[in-house]
Amino acid sequence: MFLRSSCNLGVYQGAISTSHRSIDRLRRLASKYKNAHVQSQRGFCLHDTTSAASIISVSTMRFSTFLASAFASAGLATILPLPIASTINLPQPNPFEAIHQAENDLALILDTKDWNSISRRVTQDVVYDSTALGQFGGLSNGIDQFIVNAKAAFGNALVAHHVTNGFIVFTSPSSANVTTYITWSQWDPHALEDYSKTFRVFEKCQDVFVLQNGLWKLHYSKVTNLAPKVERHTRQPP
């Protein structure tokens, strides 16, 4: 995908001095590489002092070769990157990447305790079962109980969820079974020696994500501990 937007001659005034003849030469060179176009493309913008921008796309594989030929033949002194407008519509990620992004977003929401944003990544009827973690887990039915239990579990502690391996199997275009390994670390600055408040869990999460209103959300989660028990943090000496 390459971006089509007008170049601001006022910003770049005087950056390149060339002629219409040089621009035409560069266009002819670009046509030689048109057939080499592969999956991805890059666009760039050439300026002269009197004309508007001329946008040429080239194959990513031939990009450096093309530039070398273009500079030598057209006599261009420099090349300017195409400015990206703030209103540009970025491509949507494929469903696999979208689910990975949803997991990372949920981890960030939990770590920052942004409770008002939970509904962006959790369904209203979510079932979250971490009872296998004993005193460190519990069962939540519905988003309201999910938030209440999360608040109780985290308290005033610092929290970090490191999302690592993730395996996705789609069951339909709008639902997927997702197995993810997550390291949940927690530190209570006032209770670093308290095993119930400062600890680390190596979680295996067997989840169901569903697509709702264009967003992938957690609908069900079964959490187990990959380790024999919850790990106690080792306090470093001062």
Q: Dump pLDDT digits (tens) for 62-97.
A: 444 554 555 455 554 444 454 444 566 767 789 999
Question: Per DSSP, which regions of the chain are E strands?
Answer: 41-46, 54-59, 122-129, 139-141, 158-172, 175-187, 199-212, 215-225, 231-232
Tell me which of 98 and 27 has the higher pLDDT. 98
Query: Which distant-in-sequence residues (6+ apart) come within 8 Å of 60 by Cβ?
Result: 38, 40, 41, 42
Average pLDDT over residues 46-56: 37
pLDDT for position 199: 86
* DSSP state for residue 214 in the 8-state scheme: T
Domain over 95-232 is classified CATH 3.10.20.440:
no
Query: Average of pLDDT values for 87-110?
Result: 88
Q: 118 CB contacts (<8 Å, ≥6 apart)?
A: 109, 143, 146, 147
Q: Over 90: is that where the pLDDT of 130 sits? A: yes
Give mean pLDDT, residues 159-187. Answer: 94
- What is the location of CATH 3.10.450.50 in the chain? 95-232
Single out the residue of 29, 90, 26 nearest to residue 53, CA to CA.
Answer: 26
End-to-end Cα distance, the chain: 53
Task: Give me the residues paired with residue 87 across strands.
Answer: none
Query: pLDDT band at 7, cuts 50/70/90?
Result: very low
Instruction: Indicate the range of 50-64, 136-150, 168-182, 192-206 predicted with least confidence.
Output: 50-64
Please give the Cα distance from 33 to 25 (Å, whole number): 13
Lowest mean pLDDT among 23-32, 38-47, 177-186: 38-47
Tell me, what's the pLDDT at 16? Answer: 42
